[in-house]
Amino acid sequence: MAVQKSRKSRARRGNRRAHDALTAPAVSIEPTTGEPHRRHHVSARGFYKGQKVVTKTERVRKGEDN
């Protein structure tokens, strides 16, 4: 296993960690439902830019006669 030759200073450690910050995702409010969603993504209820683009389908269970 590799062992460092000398200890890294606090400044070098900080410089290495300078790019580790996380940013919160951009969130918008859906105009029809008022719920928050990520930008350029469909909302949880299936709306995108005020229009319904995803419809919910019923799941068929095994063993049921329809």
Residue 62 confidence (pLDDT): 83
Phi and psi torsions of 54, nearest 5° = -125, 125
pTM > 0.95: no
Residue 1 confidence (pLDDT): 83
Residue 58 confidence (pLDDT): 81
Confidence of residue 66 (pLDDT cuts 50, 70, 90): low
Q: DSSP assignment of the chain, as one string?
A: ----SSPPPHHHHHHHGGG----PPPEEE-TTT--EEETTS--TTSEETTEE-----PPPPTT---
pLDDT in tens, 11-45: 999 999 999 999 999 999 999 999 999 999 999 99
Tokens of 61: 């269970």
Residue 61 confidence (pLDDT): 82
List the domain boundaries for the chain: 25-57
